[in-house]
Amino acid sequence: MTTPRTEHLVLSGVLTAEDAAATVRGILAGQRADGAIPWFRGHHLDPWDHTEAAMALDAAGEHEAAARAYAWLARHQNTDGSWYAAYADGDFAEVTDRSRESNFVAYVAVGVWHHYLSTGDDTFLDRMWPVVYAAIEHVLTLQQPGGEIGWRRDADGTPTRDALLTGSSSVHHALRCALAIAEQREEPQPDWELAAGALRHAIRRHPERFLDKSRYSMDWYYPVLGGALSGAEAKARIEEGWERFVVPGLGVRCVVPNPWVTGGESAELALALWVVGESDRALEILQSIRHLRDAESGLYWTGYVFEDRAVWPRELTAWTAGSVVLAVAALGGHEATCAVFGGGLLPSGLEPDCCE
């Protein structure tokens, strides 16, 4: 058995080779035999964070473990193409939240495309195409006339019309990855192209179509991370929110004005900074959350309340570690991660000609 090559996970002041190996071992230790990756053992699994952790495993060369994570999704997909919002950590995938969140469902496309680019495994892509197709079709039943995506279906199946900017931005990224998969398979999906374009137009031009969650840092950077904003627009958005959300030397606030920085948001901002060519600032953000690293497990604490000088909550999550690994992999030049998040090679969809 060959040892995965992980030179791209070594980053000054963030991860040494030993650190990177320990973090990957920490994620692997949390994965169940059936492929599921809960937040941590004993806690629940949600499809988005499960996929984020699987992507980190691929970035680290642990392709077999990542493939088992995607096989878990394929086995547990609902007949309507969705997944539930939460499953208990146990042998029988007991559902603990029967709502179905649109960005949770869509994110499988990002993970599947990342795995394919990491491995070149055509058989995997063939096997997962029906899963991705059904997931995207489900999500698009929640698209509103203005292009935005309703954020969930309730447990009884009732669609929610309200849209979240963060969730819709993540869906935009997923749609572009789904279109890349369709293009690779030579199965054009013109409806998806129109949906992606309408969604991007809503994100860029119609903030009033989304619930106001501007206190949350994710609403600040996700239009950039999800590829809806690029170039000068993206850089202007980053600058606009910098002073509100970034705490120098500690990381990124989850929500203002709370004195709480979080590892996941910090790593995702670093990835968004890399996307807009701000690699130096991305490195600084990643270096600033070194204090969240648990040396024993190699994982990362979810957050830190800096006024109290206290880690909170006391949980080491696979998805936080996964987001750090992906940000480092992008900065380190990991080809698949750069292609998936850089966006330059992803189809962009067809934005409407109208300016309304």
d(CA 265, CA 184): 32
SS3 95: strand
Asked if the bond preceding 257 is cis, omega within 30° of 0, the reply is: yes
Q: What is the mean pLDDT of each run of 10 residues along the chain (356 residues)?
A: 77 97 98 97 96 98 98 98 95 90 98 98 98 98 98 98 98 98 97 98 98 98 98 98 98 98 98 98 98 97 98 97 98 98 94 66
Query: Would you kindly state where each structural domain of the chain is located, as residue ranges?
Result: 7-342
206-258 pLDDT per residue, tens: 999 999 999 999 999 999 999 999 999 999 999 999 999 999 999 999 999 99
Torsion angle (degrees, nearest 10) of CA 201, 268, 94, 41: 180
From the list 177, 209, 182, the residue with the least C-alpha distance to 196 is: 177
182-191 pLDDT per residue, tens: 999 999 999 9
Model pTM score: 0.97
The pLDDT assigned to 93 comes to 79
CATH number of the structural domain 7-342: 1.50.10.10
The pLDDT assigned to 354 comes to 59
Distances (CA, A) of 65 to 44, 54, 338: 19, 8, 21
The pLDDT assigned to 355 comes to 54
The pLDDT assigned to 351 comes to 80
First to last CA, the chain: 57
